[in-house]
Structure 1
Amino acid sequence: MKFIILILATLSIMSIEQQVIADDNDNLQEIFSEYVEYGKRNYPEGATYDGDHRYDDKVTDNSEAGILARDDSTRNFLAKLTKINYDALSGDNRINYDLFKRSLEESLEFSRFKDYLMPIGQQNGIHLGAPQLVQFQPLSNAEEFNKYFARLRAIGTSVDNDIANMKKGMSLGIVMPSFIMEQTLPQMESIINKNPGESIFFSAMEKGKDLTPEQRESISNELKEIISQDINPAFQRLHDFVKNEYLPVCRQEAGVWSLPDGSDRYNLLVKYFTTLDLTFNDVHQTGLSEVARIEKEMNRIKDSIGFNGSVQEFNEFIKKDPKMFYTDKEDLMNGFRDILGKTDRARAS
Structure 2
Amino acid sequence: MRRALLAAALAACCFPAFAAPAAAPAAETRSAAASALHRLFDAEWERGLRESPENAAYQGDHRYDDRWTDMSLAAVARREAADRQALAELRRIDRAALSPADQLNYDTFAWLQERAVARQRFREYLQPVGHQGGVQTADGIAELLPFATAADYRNWIARLQALPRLLEQTTALMRAGIEAGSLPPKVLMQRVPAQIRGQLVADPAASPFYKPFLKMPEAIPAAEQEALRAQARAAIAGQVVPAYREFGRFFEQDYLPKTRDSIAATDLPDGSAFYDFLAGWYTTTDLDAERIHRIGLEEVARIRAEMEKVRAEVGFQGDLHAFFRHLRTDPKFFHRTPAELLEAYQALSKRIDPELVKIARTLPRLPYGVRPIPDNIAADTTTAYYQPGAVDGSRPGYYYVNLYRPEVRPKWEMLALSLHEAVPGHHFQFARGAELPDLPMFRRTAYFVAYGEGWGLYAERLGYDMGLYEDPYDRVGQLAYDMWRAVRLVVDTGMHAKGWSRQQAIDYFMDNSPKTEQDVVNEIDRYIAWPGQALAYKIGQLKISELRGEAARELGPAFDLRDYNDAVLETGSVPLETLETHIRAWIAERKRGPGKG
Match of 2:238 in 1: 229
Normalised to the residue count of structure 1, the TM-score between the two structures is 0.78
Normalised to the residue count of structure 2, the TM-score between the two structures is 0.47
**Distance in 2 between residues matched to 1:332 and 1:103, nearest whole Å:** 38
Residue by residue, what CA displacement relative to the aligned partner does 1:9-37 show, whole Å, maximum 9, x if unpaired? xxxxxxxxxx9961211221111111111
Match of 1:197 in 2: 205
Q: Is the 8 A contact 1:181 1:242 kept in 2?
A: no
**1:104-143 matches, cutoff 5 A:** 104-128=113-137, 130-143=138-151
Match of 2:275 in 1: 266
**Distance in 2 between residues matched to 1:321 and 1:285, nearest whole Å:** 28
Q: Is 1:47–2:56 an aligned residue pair?
A: yes
**Distance in 1 between residues matched to 2:179 and 2:468, nearest whole Å:** 62
Structure 1's 210 and 28: CA in aligned 2 closer, same or farther, altered over 3 A? same
**CA shift at 1:126, angstroms?**
1.4
Residue by residue, what CA displacement relative to the aligned partner does 1:234-289 show, whole Å, maximum 9, x if unpaired? 2112222111111111111222112111110111012112333343234335556x
**Distance in 1 between residues matched to 2:231 and 2:285, nearest whole Å:** 54
Equivalent residue in structure 1 for 2:313, among 306, 316, 322: 322
Match of 1:348 in 2: 554
Structure 1's 332 and 265: CA in aligned 2 closer, same or farther, altered over 3 A? closer
* Secondary structure in 2 matching 1:321: helix
Q: Is 1:210–2:208 an aligned residue pair?
A: no
Q: Is 1:219–2:214 an aligned residue pair?
A: no
**1:147-186 matches, cutoff 5 A:** 147-186=155-194
List runs of 5+ in structure 1 lacking aligned partners. 1-18, 299-310
**Distance in 2 between residues matched to 1:230 and 1:187, nearest whole Å:** 18
Q: Is the 8 A contact 1:178 1:247 kept in 2?
A: yes
Q: Is the 8 A contact 2:160 2:232 kept in 1?
A: no
**CA shift at 1:120, angstroms?**
0.4
Residue by residue, what CA displacement relative to the aligned partner does 1:45-77 show, whole Å, maximum 9, x if unpaired? 221232222212122111111111100110111
| Greater mean alpha carbon deviation, residues 131-140 or residues 180-189 | 131-140
**CA shift at 1:323, angstroms?**
8.2
The amino acid that maps onto 2:184 is: M
**1:297-336 matches, cutoff 5 A:** 318-322=309-313
Q: Is the 8 A contact 1:141 1:209 kept in 2?
A: no
**Distance in 1 between residues matched to 2:239 and 2:552, nearest whole Å:** 63
**Distance in 2 between residues matched to 1:262 and 1:113, nearest whole Å:** 8
Q: What value does the CA root-mean-square deviation take over the aligned residues? A: 3.1
The amino acid that maps onto 1:113 is: F
The amino acid that maps onto 2:76 is: I
Structure 1's 195 and 315: CA in aligned 2 closer, same or farther, altered over 3 A? same
Structure 1's 331 and 221: CA in aligned 2 closer, same or farther, altered over 3 A? closer
Q: Is 1:245–2:451 an aligned residue pair?
A: no
The amino acid that maps onto 1:72 is: A
Q: Is the 8 A contact 1:267 1:278 kept in 2?
A: no
Structure 1's 151 and 180: CA in aligned 2 closer, same or farther, altered over 3 A? same
* Secondary structure in 2 matching 1:164: helix
**CA shift at 1:144, angstroms?**
2.5
* Secondary structure in 1 matching 2:189: helix
Q: Is the 8 A contact 1:24 1:88 kept in 2?
A: yes
**CA shift at 1:348, angstroms?**
3.3
Structure 1's 319 and 25: CA in aligned 2 closer, same or farther, altered over 3 A? same
**CA shift at 1:346, angstroms?**
7.8
The amino acid that maps onto 2:211 is: S
Higher relative contact order (CA 8 A, sep 6+): 2
Structure 1's 279 and 218: CA in aligned 2 closer, same or farther, altered over 3 A? same
**CA shift at 1:134, angstroms?**
2.5
Structure 1's 315 and 22: CA in aligned 2 closer, same or farther, altered over 3 A? closer
Structure 1's 178 and 323: CA in aligned 2 closer, same or farther, altered over 3 A? closer
**Distance in 2 between residues matched to 1:199 and 1:82, nearest whole Å:** 49
Q: Is the 8 A contact 2:65 2:155 kept in 1?
A: yes
**Distance in 2 between residues matched to 1:115 and 1:249, nearest whole Å:** 17
Q: Is the 8 A contact 1:318 1:324 kept in 2?
A: no
Q: Is 1:27–2:36 an aligned residue pair?
A: yes
- Count of equivalent residues: 304
Equivalent residue in structure 2 for 1:73, among 82, 92, 97: 82
* Secondary structure in 1 matching 2:122: coil
The amino acid that maps onto 1:170 is: I
The amino acid that maps onto 2:83 is: T
Q: Is 1:276–2:285 an aligned residue pair?
A: yes
Structure 1's 315 and 144: CA in aligned 2 closer, same or farther, altered over 3 A? closer
Structure 1's 348 and 185: CA in aligned 2 closer, same or farther, altered over 3 A? same
List runs of 5+ in structure 2 lacking aligned partners. 1-27, 317-465, 476-544, 556-597
Structure 1's 87 and 322: CA in aligned 2 closer, same or farther, altered over 3 A? same
Match of 2:390 in 1: none
Percent identity over paired residues = 28
Q: Is 1:98–2:122 an aligned residue pair?
A: no
Residue by residue, what CA displacement relative to the aligned partner does 1:279-309 show, whole Å, maximum 9, x if unpaired? 3234335556x47xx86xx7xxxxxxxxxxx
Q: Is the 8 A contact 2:216 2:225 kept in 1?
A: no
**CA shift at 1:230, angstroms?**
1.1
Q: Is the 8 A contact 1:57 1:150 kept in 2?
A: yes
The amino acid that maps onto 1:322 is: E
